[in-house]
Amino acid sequence: SCPDEAASCMASAAKSLGAAKLLFGSVRRGGNDGYLVTLKMLDSATAKGESHVAETITRAQATPVAVRGPVQK
């Protein structure tokens, strides 16, 4: 397991799973009434990030459907 989101550790984890790409991220409380959803895609062969998205959703929007928005980007 990785103690943080360091690219080298995440790439190693992806390789151990036999994955060419790894999608990972977090959901954190952000602001007064919302959450910050952060997603990153990493290429396990190069240990380089390919894409990154961060989006704030309100507490009212915090449904499975709303969380799909950042994933679909």
Over residues 61-72, the pLDDT tens digits come to: 877 776 676 666
Indicate the pTM of the whole model.
Answer: 0.72
- Say if CB 55 and CB 69 are below 8 A apart: yes
Instruction: Give 46 or 70, the one with higher predicted confidence.
Output: 46
**Segment holding 41, helix H or strand E:** strand 34-43
